[in-house]
Amino acid sequence: MDIRLIFCIGMGAFVTYIGVVMLITQFQRKPYIPPPKPNFTSRATTVIDPKTGEKTTYREITVSTKFTSTEATPPPSQPHLEAVEGQTSNVKRPTPNIQ
């Protein structure tokens, strides 16, 4: 085999490898977001009546409807801008030393 043919095959394989690696690195995994805590709880209590031996199951489901952590503040009707009056100073300004 010719050395030039082997070199071309090697370069083609190398360029293909680099292209595949660059293509794979573009596909990033989405960051893991933990699932939110459930907004409900449930309890079940089974009671047996000593006289009749009948089983009674009491089930309780509690659902939380808290949408935000704090109350939303209403937007202001107009923006509040403070007027700053100009102040003057008696200090002399420096002059350039031109001779």
b/e per residue, 16-40, with b = 16+ CB within 10 A? eeeeeeeeeeeeeeeeeeeeeeeee
> Which carries the bigger pLDDT value, residue 4 or residue 92?
4
pLDDT at residue 81 is higher than 80: no
> Which carries the bigger pLDDT value, residue 78 or residue 35?
35
Q: Which of 7-11, 25-29, 75-79 has the highest mean pLDDT?
A: 7-11
Average pLDDT, the chain: 83
